[in-house]
């Protein structure tokens, strides 16, 4: 049988097919595996922290403790201010403010002067003698009867220091009593009447509404007449205004129900007792604290 010669084109096609097969085999054996994304660990690039992020991360401030003292530590003297009025408005004894600020004469304070009105913490201030303001008061005799002769007007009075009423764990735990027996003629109004107006007759007794220490007894606050202020603890003080006669002196410890003055009309249009309760210096409604009659 005669063998036909192969066409050159067929030989070329054969070699080409073989080369392609070998090339495909090599590619299959050397191709790198496709990368696999680890979604569990993949993270976007970090961005710079902003103030808002810091605010979110910062711990929330602890709430103020119940009954915490919210008064400002200082007071700037304004025209018409007196040390006695500043003390009343800040709920402090004027002698304490004078001592904290090294004031020798309570009548000499200047407009713009910055006064400390809260006790210094961890600080010892030099104590200077304080000039006692004019006090018109009648001291009680040994039996507690009404004195027969008043103290001389303008006479210097230097009451002996008496220990303050011991502080309690809860300053709001005060046992209150009515300071006078008459009817209430005007209720508390924060803007017009910062206390209760209790009416009566001239000479009717005025009683301490709770245990405390007298921090003011005199007539140096305009609009209050003859005034007694009693501080009960670090939070509360009471004011008794328009009296006819004062029966206590500054720094004297008094007890609830003790007679401290006689009702009158000093710096008022009628006989009455103007009675205030101040909590951290702010007037509050006494009727909410006093027992039901």
- Would you state the torsion angle of the CA atoms of residues 114, 89, 102, 214, taken in this order, to the nearest 10 degrees? 180
Q: How many CA atoms lie within 13 A of 258 on its CB side?
A: 18
Q: DSSP state, 286?
A: G
pTM for this entry? 0.64
Structure tokens at 64: 């103020």
Compute the distance between CA of residue 113 and CA of residue 76 in angstroms, rounded to an integer.
Answer: 6
Q: Is 237 helix (H, G, I), strand (E, B) or coil?
A: strand
Q: What is the mean pLDDT of residues 274-280?
A: 97
Is the distance from CB of 273 to CB of 198 less than 8 angstroms? yes
Q: What pLDDT shows up at residue 141?
A: 38
Q: Residue 18: which H helix or E strand, with range?
A: helix 8-30
Nearest to 240 by CA among 251, 220, 226: 226
Q: What is the mean pLDDT of residues 225-249?
A: 97
Residue 87 has pLDDT above 80, yes or no: yes
Structure tokens at 269: 């249009």
Within 10 angstroms of residue 95's Cβ, the number of other Cβ atoms is 18
Q: Is 229 helix (H, G, I), strand (E, B) or coil?
A: strand
Residue 279: is it exposed, middle or buried by C-beta count within 10 angstroms (0-12/13-18/19+)?
middle
- Which residues share a beta bridge with 104? none
Residue 113: is it exposed, middle or buried by C-beta count within 10 angstroms (0-12/13-18/19+)?
middle
Residue 63 has pLDDT above 50, yes or no: no
Residue 228 has pLDDT above 60, yes or no: yes
Q: Is 272 helix (H, G, I), strand (E, B) or coil?
A: strand
Could you report the per-residue pLDDT of 40-49, keeping only the tens digit for each?
A: 444 555 555 5
185 or 68: which leads in pLDDT: 185
Residue 149 has pLDDT above 80, yes or no: no
As a whole number of Å, the end-to-end CA separation of the chain is 146
Least confident interval from 16-20, 85-89, 184-188, 222-226? 16-20
Residue 218: is it exposed, middle or buried by C-beta count within 10 angstroms (0-12/13-18/19+)?
buried
Q: What is the mean pLDDT of residues 126-142?
A: 41
CATH 3.40.50.970 for domain 134-141+175-293, yes or no, is no
Structure tokens at 71: 């008064």
Q: What pLDDT shows up at residue 109?
A: 93
Q: What pLDDT shows up at residue 84?
A: 93
Domains of the chain, residue spans: 71-133, 134-141+175-293
CATH 2.60.120.10 for domain 71-133, yes or no, is no
Q: What pLDDT shows up at residue 69?
A: 73
Mean pLDDT of the chain: 75
Assign 23 a pLDDT band (cuts: 50, 70, 90): very low
Q: What pLDDT shows up at residue 25?
A: 47
């Amino acid at each position: 049988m005669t063998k036909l010669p192969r066409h050159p084109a067929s030989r070329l096609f054969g070699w080409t097919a073989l080369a392609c097969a070998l090339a495909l085999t090599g590619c299959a054996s050397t191709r790198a595996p496709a990368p696999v994304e680890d979604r569990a660990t993949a993270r976007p690039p970090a961005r710079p922290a902003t103030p808002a992020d810091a605010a979110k991360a910062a711990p929330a401030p602890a709430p103020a403790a119940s009954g915490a003292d919210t008064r400002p530590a200082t007071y700037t003297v304004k025209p018409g201010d007196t040390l006695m009025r500043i003390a009343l408005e800040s709920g402090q004894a004027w002698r304490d403010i004078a001592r904290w600020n090294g004031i020798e004469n309570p009548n000499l304070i200047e407009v713009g002067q910055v006064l400390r009105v809260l006790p210094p913490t961890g600080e010892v201030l030099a104590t200077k003698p304080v000039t006692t303001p004019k006090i018109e008061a009648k001291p009680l005799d040994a039996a507690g009867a009404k004195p027969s002769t008043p103290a001389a007007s303008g006479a210097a009075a230097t009451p002996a220091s008496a220990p303050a009423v011991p502080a309690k764990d809860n300053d709001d735990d005060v046992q209150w009593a009515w300071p006078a027996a008459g009817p209430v003629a005007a209720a508390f109004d924060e803007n017009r009447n910062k206390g209760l107006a209790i009416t009566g007759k001239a000479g009717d007794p005025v009683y301490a509404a709770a245990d405390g220490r007298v921090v003011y007894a005199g007539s140096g606050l305009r609009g209050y007449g003859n005034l007694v202020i009693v501080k009960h603890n670090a939070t509360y003080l009471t004011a008794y205004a328009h009296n006819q006669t004062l029966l206590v002196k500054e720094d004297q410890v008094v007890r609830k129900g003790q007679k401290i003055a006689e009702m009158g009309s000093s710096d008022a249009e009628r006989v009455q007792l103007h009675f205030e309760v101040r909590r951290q210096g702010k007037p509050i409604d006494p009727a909410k604290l006093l027992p039901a009659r």
